[in-house]
Chain A
Amino acid sequence: MCETLKESLFDARETPCPLNQEVMKMAENKVDEIKLKYCPNCGESLLKPNSLLNEYWISQDTAYFCWCGECSWRGEIIEIIRVTAPELATS
């Protein structure tokens, strides 16, 4: 077993390997803390029960579907791990 993966079994907080950490957390069904907190439009808390902050996954990306119960703003925020450019034209 890879060293980082083994460590992450014992202490998920300190592993330097984010991908493995993610895998381990999923395997253990650990409850993550949802990172996002505030409405990007009005600044109200998105954690209030009348709002919707729904985390989900698009391939390797973590996405947050947000609907603000205060100002009704709806949108998605995607956490960026790696910045990529679209495939460039070949000719």
Chain B
Amino acid sequence: MLSKEQNEALTQVDSGKPMGELLRRYWHPIAASTEVEKKGTIKKLKILGEDLVLYRDKSNNLGLVADRCAHRGVSLEYAIPEECGLRCQYHGWLYDKTGQCIDQPNEPEDSTFKNRIKISGYEVKELGGLVFAYMGPSPAPELPKWDLFVQENVVRTIGYAVIPCNWVQIMENSLDPTHLEWLHGHYFEHIFEQQGRPQDEWPITKHHLKIGFDEFEYGIIKRRVLEGQTEENEDWAVGHPIVFPNYLRVGDSGAHSFQIRVPIDETHTLHFWYTCFVPAEGVKVPENYPITFYECPIYDENGKFVTDYIDGQDMMAWITQGPIADRSIERLGTSDRGIIMYRQMLKRELKKIENGEDPKCTIRDPQQNEYIELPQEEDKFSEGGLLSGVAIHWNTRYAPNLSEIIEICKGGVISSNV
């Protein structure tokens, strides 16, 4: 339980708010590259409470600027991407990628008025099929090359959803290992039963005997010992990380994935499920095989949560806590210590930036950033390649090319053309 004030401080994301400032020290994925592939494309977005437009200009450069024109406030979602920048559709003011106004066609030729006009403009970069933005003070740190973004010979998919709740409760779910046996175990069995499907084969209902949390260079490693396991098992010995501040890494030998939670505003989160499917020994993934981008449904046609897949179950849990979980009425027990540890880490890192230091996971040395390997469990829940085996129970079941990916990974021939 927290006071209302401390809950607010933890969950606010706007510029000038403490957590908003901490979040602005990191690169965040804001779109899939395929969404803005074509020159002249504009995509309207809201990130960290700011209305923005992402565009690809005619010279093939991406830009990210405030949505509203400084002149009379129309939305630049309908603007004209030019050779170099974005021109407002209303009276032709032109903004470069920093948001500086560089042309006002209807003002006197020698006017210096434009020099005094600037809208927000942020750095963007592409990596691993995602577009990332940095909205903090200069100089921007390196865009971290986490292994999954740069790994070779894997098939990637990107799922997404716009989740109507605050990002912190989503992250707290990742510091809560025991929900596995309930939400994705017993509850899943209940769903199977309701649907008249056989439940006996479901392997993730094992009881947690022990959970642990260790801080490491890039975040927190979460560990568990399940019934029938010892500390020798990978679930404890390797564990899987929360990459500070807003990634979860999960996976097994067949599929490695990130769950990335980007605050849209206080009550909405842009969620990415970024998966790398690992082919069998000796199998070569076709050159330039596309990265598919798909939406993961939250609700069914009756407006009820889709609860027969793992990520749908998680979304149901996150969203039903309310738009911003009210931590002044929660009742935490000992199994929630990881959640408390994460909250404290957020506060501690915030203090670092107040002291003028870089927060955790700020990478400035390009050499350190060539390939950042994270711990990866292979034998998950002592069930071997479980996650890829149950790919149909994860968000990846919505990937349009899932069966083809499984074929590729097994070394089969591919027939379709995604």
Q: How large is the interface on A (under 10, 10 to 19, 20 to 34, 35 or more residues)?
A: 20 to 34
Number of B positions contacting A (CB below 8 A): 24
Determine which of B329, B334, B336 lies in contact with A29 in the assembled complex, contact meaning CB atoms within 8 Å. Answer: B329
A65 to B6 Cα, complex, angstroms: 13
Given A52-B6, A53-B6, A69-B347: 5 more A-B contacts, CB < 8 Å: A47-B6, A49-B5, A52-B344, A65-B340, A65-B344
Minimum C-beta distance from B378 to chain A (A): 34
Residues of A with C-beta under 8 A to B9: 49-50
Residues of B with C-beta under 8 A to A26: 331
Once the chains bind, are A54 and B1 in contact (CB under 8 Å)? yes
Determine which of A53, A57, A69, A74 lies in contact with B2 in the assembled complex, contact meaning CB atoms within 8 Å. Answer: A53
Minimum C-beta distance from B391 to chain A (A): 37
From known contacts A54-B340, A65-B344, A69-B351, infer whether A47 and B331 are also in contact, taking CB-CB under 8 Å: no
Residues of B with C-beta under 8 A to A29: 329
**Residues 19-75 of A contacting B (Cβ, < 8 Å):** 26, 29, 31-32, 34, 47, 49-58, 65, 67, 69, 72, 74
A58 to B191 Cα, complex, angstroms: 32
A58 to B335 Cα, complex, angstroms: 10
Once the chains bind, are B347 and A34 in contact (CB under 8 Å)? no
Residues of A with C-beta under 8 A to B5: 47, 49
Who on chain B is nearest to A47 by CB? B3
Q: What are 5 A-B pairs with beta-carbon distances under 8 A?
A: A29-B329, A47-B3, A55-B2, A67-B344, A72-B351
Once the chains bind, are B343 and A52 in contact (CB under 8 Å)? yes
Determine which of B1, B344, B351 lies in contact with A56 in the assembled complex, contact meaning CB atoms within 8 Å. Answer: B1
Minimum C-beta distance from A34 to chain B (A): 6
**B328 within 8 A of partner (CB):** yes
Once the chains bind, are A31 and B347 in contact (CB under 8 Å)? no
**B348 within 8 A of partner (CB):** yes
A53 to B351 Cα, complex, angstroms: 15
Minimum C-beta distance from B354 to chain A (A): 8
From known contacts A57-B331, A69-B347, infer whether A50 and B18 are also in contact, taking CB-CB under 8 Å: yes
